[in-house]
Chains A and B, each alone.
Chain A
Amino acid sequence: MADIIFTIYYSEPGQDIDLSVTENMKPFKYTRATDAASATRIAAENPNAKFLAGGTNLIDLMKEDVERPDELIDLTNLTLSQIKALPSGGLSLGALGRNTDAANHPLVRQNYPLLTQAILAGASGQIRNMATNGGNMLQRTRCPYFYEVSMPCNKREPGRYEGASGCGAREGVNRNHAIFGWSEKCVAVYPSDMAIALSALDAIIKVSTPDGRERDISFADFHRLPGDTPEKETNLETGELIVAIELPKSNFAKHSYYLKVRDRASYAFALVSVGAALELEGSRIKQVRIAMGGVAHKPWRARKAEDYLIGKETSAENFQLAAAAEMAEARPLEHNRFKVELGKRSIVHALEMAVRGGKS
C-alpha cells in the first residue's frame, strides 16, 4: 500500500511521448488528441487508455493507484467547449467546457437555473474551474473502499472477489452509501451534483463513436445500476467520447430548485440531494421532474413521486404523499437509515422551494 505519484512530461501538440522506457514509475503513454476522430480511434485501439479532460478526478485516482491506465489521451486541444443555443430552443454544452462556465452562462442561468445551482453546489471554485462537463459525468464514486487499494472492492477489481465479500462497504462503514438500486456486489453512490440537474432536465448525451458516427444517449440510459458489473458505470462503449450535453427546451425555469444536504455547507458531497422542477398552471402541476443524488449508483429519478404529482395541486400534503411513495421503495443499509427520512424531507422541501421560485 503506497501512494503512487508520477510526473507528466509535456509534449508539443501532436507529438507523443512514450514513457514506458522510464522504469522508475508506473509507465504510461501521454497522447494529445487533435480532434474527436483521432481521440476515439486511439481509445478504441487501446482499451487501457483513458481520456484526460480536467483531470480533477482521473489524476487523483491515478495517484491513489485506483486507476492504472497505460495511456492518457489528452482532450484539451479538442474544440468542444462551446455553449450553443439550438434551433429547437434547447442548449448544447460542449463536453470540454468548464463547469464554471456552464454554471454562469447567461442562457443557462436564464433557462436552466436548476443546472446553475447544482453545478455551484459541487466541489470548490478552483475545482469547478478545472472540471469539464464531460468529465463531471464520468467522475467515479467516492466510496472509501473503492479508494483504498488494500480494501476489497468489486468496482475497482472486478472478478477478484467471491460473492458479497468483494464489497467492503456492504457490511462496513456505509453511512454515505446507496438506499436504492444497490446490489450485493456494490452499494456505492454516484457523486455528481451536475448530473442530478441534467437527469431532471432529461438531457441528452451526445457521443462520438470510433467508427466516426455520432449517437445520442438519453440521460436516463446513460448511467447504470451496479448489478453484477459495478465496474461498468455507464453505457458508453469502448472508445466512445462524449462531445456534448444537450438540454431540451423546457418550461421549468420559473419553478426549480436544487437542494443539497451535506455534512458541511460547502466542499462536501451530498448526503442526499434533490433536483426538483415544476411546470405549473396556477397551482396545478402540469409537469414535474424529481431527481435524487446521494442515494444510488446513478442519478435517481423519483418516478413514483412524479407520477403521483402529475395533475395534482401543489400542496404540502401532496408533496408528502409523493415523497412517501418514492421512499417506500428504499432499502437502507446499516448506517444510512437516516437517508430514508432525509430523502422524504428533501423531496418535499425541494418541491416547496421550487414552487416558491427558489426563495426561502
Chain B
Amino acid sequence: MVGSPLSRIDGILKVTGKADYSLDHPIDNVAYAVLVKSTIAAGKIREVNSAQAEKTPGVLAVISHQNSPKLNEKGGIRGGALLQSPEIKFFGQTIGMVVAETFEQAIYAASLVEFQYQEASPQVNFESLASKAMPSKDREDEKRGDARAALNQASLKIEEVYSTPIEHHHPMEPHAAIAEWEGDRLTLYSSAQIVNGAQNSAAKTLNIKPENVRIVTPYIGGGFGSKGGQWANLVLTAVAAKVAMRPVKLALTRHQMVNSVGLRQRNQQKISLAATADGKLMALAHETTTHSAIDEEFVEPCGDCSKLMYDTPNSLISYRVVPMNVILPTYTRGPGKSTGSFALESGMDELAHKLNIDPIEFRLRNEPARDPSNGKPWSTRATAQCLKEGAKAFGWEKRKAQPRQNEQGDYWVGHGVACGTYPAHQRPSSANVLLKREGSVVQATVELAAADLGTGTYTILAQTAADALGIPVDKIVVKIGDSDLPPAAGSVGSVGAMSYANVVNDVCQKATEELIAKSGKQFFARPTAAQLMVSEKIENFQSSVQSEAPASAEEYSSHSFNANFAEVWVHKFTGMVRVNRFLAVTGAGRILNPKTARSQIIGGNVWGIGMALTEESAMDPRWGNFVSRSLADYHIPANLDIGEMEVIFIREDDTASNKLGVKGIGEVGIVGVAAAVANAVFNATGKRVRELPITPDKLI
C-alpha cells in the first residue's frame, strides 16, 4: 500500500459533512462566547462599562481584565491577550468577552460593551522604524570566513534589498473551540496542530494539571502554523465555560483572524553575493531586518536557506529586529525559508544574469558536497537532480537567456527557476496498535495523538499499518487527534509524516515480533501479524512503542530539496501576470502516497504564487489596523491566475534520516516558489521586482 495513490480515507466523511471539526461536536446545552477587540494599537484601558451588555437578555457573563479569573501568562499561550491587564499592545487585541445563551445575543451584547482608553502613540510604521532595528535576542549572527571583506574586494557582485509584506495564514477553518468542564476535568474540542502542546499550554495557563485537560481535534481545517502554538481564544473558551458553568463555543470571525492568531512578519532582506567570473560564489551575506511584537521577540529564520544552499568560503547571516505594536508573528508555512528563499534565489538569478551564466548552471557550479553550515554529509541532496530533470521536463532550453525577448501578442513571456529546501527531522512519538480477530478477518486500530491538518495523515498511517501488519487498508482504523492517545509529535515543521509513519511502522513490527514469540514457533518466512492472529487463534492483541530518530540521523544533514520552474505571461500594457505553467521537482525521501503528496506540493506552490503575486496584509501606518481583513481583499490566487501545474518527485532512498526514509513535504512546496515567479517576471519583462507582491502597478 505504501507508495500507492490511495484517495484520502477520510474524504467521504468530509465531503458528506460527517467529519466533526471543532465546533461540530454535538455537545448539549452550550452557551456562546464572543470576543471584544481593541480599537487602538497602544495604551491602557481606563474604564470598562459593561452595564448595558449585562442587562441584555440571554447574557451570562461579561469578562474583562477587571473580573477575569487569574491565568498564568507564562503558560505557553502565544501572543498574550488573556484579559489579565489593562495594557493594550496591538490593534484588535482581545480585551473582553461576552458569554450568552445564543450566538446572536452574545454578538449583540459584545457590541454594547464600552471601553475607555488612555491612548499611547503606537509603533506601527515599519518604514520609519526599520532603521532602529537592533540585533535579535534569539538569533545570533552566524559567520564563516569574512563575507564583508570578500564583498569589498569583489568586482562581480550584487547587493540588493528584497522585501516581503505581512501575510496571514487564513486557513479555511478559523480558530474555534468548545470547552466543557466536568469537575476539574476540562475537554477542549478545538483545532490543534500539536495535540500535546495544546494540552500542556492550556493546562499551564489555566493553572491545572495537564492530565486534567483533554484536547479533541480529529479534523483540522488547515493551520499553516497558526494552529501550532495555541492562542488566547483556546484558553478563553475554557474561562468562559468555567464562568458560565456550561459548555461554551467560541469561534473567531474571519476579520478577527488578522489579529488573534499570529502572522508572517514583514521582512527586509539584504542579499550580497560575490562570485568569480566563471561563477564560483565567493561571498554570501543575508541580512534580515524585521519587526516583532512590542513585548516579545519572534523572528522567522530568513537566513536558513542561505546557510546551506551554496558552497561559499565566506558567509554572514544576521537578524535585526524592531518591536512594533502588532500581534506576535509566528510560524507560517515554510517559516523563514519561503521568504528567505525569495531573497536568496532572486539574488542568485540577478548575479547569474550579471555573470551571463545560465541560472541553472550557476547553481550547479556552487553545489556544496557537504552542508556548509556544519560540515556534515548530506543524508541525500536532490538539488542537482531536481534542476536537471526539471529543466528537461520543463523545456528550459527554449528559454530566452536575455529578458524581454519572448513576445506573444499582447504579452511578454518569461521563464524562471529557483531552488528551495526544508529540514527533515523525525521527532519522538509513541503509538498503540490493537489487533482484533473475528473468524479469519483481522482488523487493527492504530492510536496516537497525531494531527491531520487535512493533508492525508489518516491515509498514510493506514497505508503504513496495512503493509506492516499484512491487513487490507480498509480493515485499519486510525485514531488520532486526541490527547488521551499516546503522545506524539505535532504536525508542524514538516515532521508529521516521518515521525508518525515511523512510530506506526515500529509498533506494528513490534506487535508482529511479539506474536511470533508468543506462538513459540520457528518460521522460514516471517509471517504477518494478520497471519499469526489467525493461525494462533488469538482474538485480541495489543502493543505499544515509543520511537525516535535513529542515532545515525545526527551524523547527517537531512533536508528535502526542490527546484521550481515558472512560466509567466505578463500583459504588456496592464502589467497583470499570469503563471501559465508551474513545475515543482522535489526530492523528499520516500513518498508514502503520491496523490496526497502531490496535493501538498501543489498547495505549497499556490501559496508561493500568492506570495509572489497577490498576498499582502496592508496595515494603516498611523493606527496599526489591518485594512485587508477579509478574503475579498486578502487576495489568494484564483483559478484563472494559474494554468498547468506539474509535480515530479525524485526517487530517494534516505534511511540515514529515519528508518522508513520519509521526509517532510508540508513546507518545502512553498520554498523557492516566489523567487521562481519573480525570476520569470524578470525574464519576461526585464523588470526586477524586489518588493512582493508583484502587483500590476509594479510592472508598468
Contacts and interface: CB of A to CB of B under 8 A. Distances in A.
Interface of A: 1-7, 23-26, 65, 142, 144-145, 147-148, 150-151, 168, 171-173, 175, 259, 261-268, 271, 338-339, 341-342, 345-346, 348-349, 360
B695 interface: yes
A69 to B, nearest CB: 16
Interface of B: 34-37, 39, 56-58, 92, 100, 102-105, 107-108, 110-111, 253, 255, 409-410, 573-576, 578, 613-614, 618-623, 625, 627-629, 632-633, 635, 637-641, 693, 695-697, 700
B33 to A, nearest CB: 12
B573 A171 contact: no
Interface centre among B255, B573, B578 (most CB of A within 10 A): B573
B696 A271 contact: yes
Nearest to A337: B697
B contact face: mostly helix, strand, loop, or mixed: loop
Contacts of A259: 574
B36 A2 contact: yes
Nearest to B91: A150
Contacts of B621: 172-173
A4 B111 contact: yes
A264 B614 contact: yes
Contact of B697 (A25, A145, A173, A271): A271
5 contacts: A25-B105, A147-B629, A264-B613, A265-B638, A341-B700
Nearest to A172: B620
A171 B622 contact: yes
Given A171-B622, A266-B638, 14 more contacts: A2-B37, A24-B57, A150-B39, A168-B620, A172-B622, A173-B620, A261-B576, A262-B576, A264-B614, A265-B576, A265-B641, A268-B638, A271-B695, A349-B574
A2 B256 CA distance: 9
A342 B103 contact: no
Contacts of A150: 39, 625
A263 B700 contact: no
Given A1-B37, A24-B102, A142-B633, A148 B107 contact: no
A261 B574 contact: yes
Contacts of B693: 263
A25 B573 contact: no
A197 to B, nearest CB: 18
Contact of B639 (A266, A345, A346): A266
Most chain B beta-carbon contacts within 10 A, residue among A171, A267, A339: A267
A338 B700 contact: yes
A142 B625 CA distance: 16
A172 B696 contact: no
Contacts of A261: 574-576, 696
Nearest to B613: A264
Contacts of B574: 259, 261, 342, 345-346, 349
Contacts of A151: 620, 623, 625
Contacts of B110: 2
A265 B108 contact: no
A348 B641 CA distance: 24
A4 B574 CA distance: 39
Nearest to A268: B635
B638 A346 contact: no
Contact of A24 (B58, B255, B638): B58
Contacts of A175: 618, 697
A264 B641 contact: yes
A171 B623 CA distance: 11
Most buried by A among B34, B92, B100, B255: B255
Contacts of B700: 338, 341-342, 345
A259 B638 CA distance: 18
A338 B697 contact: yes
Contacts of A145: 627
A265 B700 CA distance: 17
A7 B102 CA distance: 12
Contact of B34 (A2, A271, A342): A2
A271 B695 CA distance: 10
A148 B625 contact: yes
A140 to B, nearest CB: 13
Contact of B107 (A5, A267, A271): A5
B35 to A, nearest CB: 8
Contacts of A345: 573-574, 700
Given A144-B633, A342-B700, A4 B253 contact: no
B89 to A, nearest CB: 16
A194 to B, nearest CB: 18
B627 A346 contact: no
A330 to B, nearest CB: 14
Contact of B409 (A3, A266, A348, A360): A360
Contacts of B620: 151, 168, 172-173
A262 B695 CA distance: 8
A6 B37 CA distance: 20
B107 A342 contact: no
B111 A342 contact: no
Contacts of A26: 108
A261 B574 CA distance: 6
Contacts of B57: 23-24
Nearest to A171: B622
B639 A2 contact: no
Nearest to B411: A360
Given A144-B633, A262-B576, A264-B637, A5 B613 contact: no
**Closest 6 A/B residue pairs (Cβ):** A150-B39, A338-B697, A265-B640, A144-B627, A2-B110, A349-B573
A346 to B, nearest CB: 7
Contacts of B695: 263, 271
Contact of A263 (B36, B92, B623, B635): B635
Given A2-B110, A263-B696, A24 B640 contact: no
Contact of B39 (A1, A23, A338): A1
A360 to B, nearest CB: 5
Nearest to B632: A142
B122 to A, nearest CB: 14
B94 to A, nearest CB: 11
B1 to A, nearest CB: 39
B104 A25 contact: yes
A301 B102 CA distance: 50
B629 A144 contact: yes
Contact of A3 (B107, B623, B640): B107
A359 to B, nearest CB: 10
Contact of B108 (A4, A172, A360): A4
B616 to A, nearest CB: 9
B697 A342 contact: yes
Nearest to A261: B574
A6 to B, nearest CB: 6
Contacts of B637: 264
A268 B640 CA distance: 12
A360 B410 contact: yes
Contacts of B618: 173, 175
A172 B625 CA distance: 11
Contacts of A262: 576, 696
A348 B573 CA distance: 9
Contacts of A173: 618-621, 627
Nearest to B55: A23
Given A5-B103, A349-B573, A263 B111 contact: no
Contacts of A25: 104-105, 107-108
Contacts of A360: 409-410
A73 to B, nearest CB: 22
Contact of A5 (B39, B104, B255, B629): B104
A267 B637 CA distance: 10
Contacts of B697: 175, 271, 338-339, 342
A172 B622 CA distance: 7
A262 B56 CA distance: 45
